[in-house]
Amino acid sequence: GRTGSNNTANSVETTKIADELGVDGFLIVGPYYNKPTQEGYYQHFKAISECTAKPIILYNVPGRTAANIPPATVARIAKDFKNVVAIKEAAGNVAQVAELFRILPADFTIYSGDDGLLLPFASVGATGVVSVLANIGGEILQDLMNAYESGDVKKAAEINKKMVPLANAMFIETNPIPVKAAVTLVTGIDAGAPRLPLTPMTEGALAKMKGILAENGLI
């Protein structure tokens, strides 16, 4: 369940409700807009982790929250709260992923939060991706990781060369506008229009995305 918000009390309440409904775990975003202190981040995740025994993935996405959760704070949270087991790292910073890998426990999992950065992130310790592209084309990401983990870095780079334009196509306009349209095109299942304040894709962006999907045999 994705139950995090910028209101700690609300996050705790929502997490408890989702826990009672039987979800397997939680993806908890760093509080947005508020720009907490590092102690504020720690206390936020402390409150949420103590209200559930289920595993928690911390989600660091400063491009949407307006503030970064640095590795030292992530490591402090991971050390003190054993059900915080992973991070979806979407700061776009390879050096930060390397530092996370250096200081976090060996059993703590680092996921890339960006499809297009999966390969460079994997090279410094990430073990997978929480993906947008996988909604329509997860096989290419699986092939990339299989090649990399088998030691065939050159093959992984070749796959990555094909994957990145697909990943970028999912961000022609604000995510998740393009991927909703792509799901409809690729699967035939009508994913519908996004809710305001997100708006349907413009004709120009849609045509460009269709071209990239067609080039890759997805439509």
Which among 41, 42, 59, 148 is annotated as catalytic? Answer: 59
Residue 26 φ then ψ, to 5° = -135, 140
> Catalytic annotation on 88?
yes
Both structure tokens of 165 = 């334009």
Q: Up-side HSE of residue 44: CA atoms within 13 Å toward CB?
A: 26
> Catalytic annotation on 161?
no
Q: Up-side HSE of residue 37: CA atoms within 13 Å toward CB?
A: 3
How far apart (Å, rounded) are the C-alpha atoms in residues 160 and 141? Answer: 8
Which among 88, 111, 148, 180 is annotated as catalytic? Answer: 88
Annotated catalytic residues are: 59, 88
